[in-house]
Structure 1
Amino acid sequence: MEQLIEELKTHLIEELNLEELTPSDIDADAPLFGDGLGLDSIDALEIILILERYYGIKLHNTAEAKPIFHSVKTLAEYIAKHRP
């Protein structure tokens, strides 16, 4: 799981243009949106693309995304359970 979390952090930094951050700067338990990493709705769309591109996961119901997108850890847990 730790390897998946680190890989996910790297994808987030690259795909969301967070070049000022390193994977160690991102707390896996911190919220991705709001007071945590400070991502916005456009970033959420990019995360959906990350799930599809790198992990083969398609979210069919965007309403289910909120709890999945809470933190890097919740994203990694979802990927681990749903990766084809």
Structure 2
Amino acid sequence: MEALKQELKEKIIAALNLEHISVEEFDDNETLFGDGIGLDSIDALELIVLLDKDYGIKLTDPKEGKTIFQSVETMANYISANRTK
């Protein structure tokens, strides 16, 4: 699980061009949207694409994304349970 969280942090930083955040500073439980990392709805779309492309997970319900994308921890748990790649 730790390897998956590390991989996710690296992919999120690269996909969303978050040069101001290093993997070491990226806390597993930090909120990704709002007051946490500060991601927005465009970033959410990028995360949906990342899940599909890298892990074979297709999100069809936007409400589901809100739960999954709370933090790196919640994303890693969801990926572990649902990945097809």
Aligned-pair identity in percent equals 52
- Per-residue deviation at 1:78? 0.3
What CA distance in whole angstroms lies between the structure 1 residues aligned with 2:73 and 2:18?
A: 18
What CA distance in whole angstroms lies between the structure 2 residues aligned with 1:76 and 1:15?
A: 16
- Kindly report the root-mean-square deviation, in angstroms, between the aligned alpha carbons of the 2 structures: 0.7
Task: Indicate whether 1:32 and 2:71 are aligned.
Answer: no
TM-score normalised by L of structure 2 = 0.95
Q: How does 1:67-82 map to 2 (within 5 A)?
A: 67-82=67-82
State the AA in 2 paired with 1:58.
K
Q: For each residue in 1:14-54, what CA deviation from the matched residue of structure 2 results, as whole angstroms up to 9, or x when unmatched?
A: 00001222111111101000111000000000000110111
Q: How many residues align?
A: 84
Aligned to 1:11: 11
TM-score normalised by L of structure 1 = 0.96
* Unpaired segments ≥5 residues, structure 1: none
Following TM superposition, where does structure 1 have runs of at least 4 consecutive aligned residues deviating by more than 2 angstroms? Answer: none
State the AA in 1 paired with 2:81.
K
* Unpaired segments ≥5 residues, structure 2: none
